[in-house]
């Protein structure tokens, strides 16, 4: 069974990206995968600073996050768009998690890992401007994005009571993305 680690690039309660990651988790299960949804807020990491790394090493929260990445076949990331870019918490986790440690090389946990990219926004564009930047970041870490992405605009109205996307076209797009991810990782 293909294991997929899902998380949002936002830690805000009620974040649309969390809801999108959860909807993707439902799709992972529908396609025979095993979804694991996490919250980046549970993996404490100070703002990356080489002085902190030199004096204290890699924070335990980051080591725990890396362990989860290493034990899953694929990743599914949902993020809001902050001024056209990634959220600070997501970028910070990537910065920390890509650091070499005594147990692996620079970013080794990410190498060759299939990843699905998703964005959401309360606006019409659905966070689409962040996707190229997110793609660049994950490719720079050695991950392999599956073709396509999911973008959910007007996200405040986009989800049904059961957590799925209420718009059929958006739901089909998300399902196709997740199916490609599960197939690639399996």
Q: What is the pLDDT along the chain (186 residues), one digit of tens a residue?
A: 999 999 999 999 889 999 999 999 999 999 999 999 999 999 999 999 999 999 999 999 999 999 999 999 999 999 999 999 999 999 999 999 999 877 666 568 999 999 999 999 998 888 999 999 999 999 999 999 999 999 999 898 988 888 889 889 999 999 999 999 999 998
Rounded CA gap, 25 and 38, in Å? 11
Residue 57 belongs to a domain with what CATH number? 3.40.50.360
Radius of gyration of the chain (CA): 16
Residue whose tokens read 């090389």: 105
> pTM of the predicted model, to two decimals?
0.95
**Host domain of residue 105:** 3-185
Q: Which residues contact 53 (CB under 8 A, 6 or more apart)?
A: 99
Phi, psi for 82 (deg, rounded to 5): -110, 105
Count the domains in the chain: 1
101 in helix, strand or coil? strand
């Amino acid at each position: 069974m293909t294991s997929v680690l899902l998380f949002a690039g936002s830690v805000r309660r009620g974040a649309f990206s969390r809801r999108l990651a959860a909807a993707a988790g439902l799709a992972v299960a529908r396609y025979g995968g095993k979804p694991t949804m996490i919250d980046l807020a549970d993996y404490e990491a100070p703002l990356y600073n080489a002085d902190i790394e030199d004096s204290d090493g890699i924070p335990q929260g980051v080591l725990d996050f890396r362990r989860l990445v290493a034990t899953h076949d694929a990743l599914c990331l949902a993020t809001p768009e902050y001024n056209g870019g990634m959220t600070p918490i997501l970028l910070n986790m990537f910065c920390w998690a890509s650091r070499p440690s005594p147990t692996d090389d620079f970013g080794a946990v990410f190498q060759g890992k299939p990843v699905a990219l998703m964005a959401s926004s309360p606006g019409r564009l659905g966070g689409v401007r962040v996707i190229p930047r997110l793609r660049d970041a994950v490719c720079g870490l050695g991950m392999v994005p599956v073709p396509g992405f999911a973008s959910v605009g007007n996200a405040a109205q986009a989800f049904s009571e059961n957590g799925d996307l209420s718009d059929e076209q958006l739901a089909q797009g998300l399902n196709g993305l997740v199916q490609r991810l599960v197939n690639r990782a399996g």
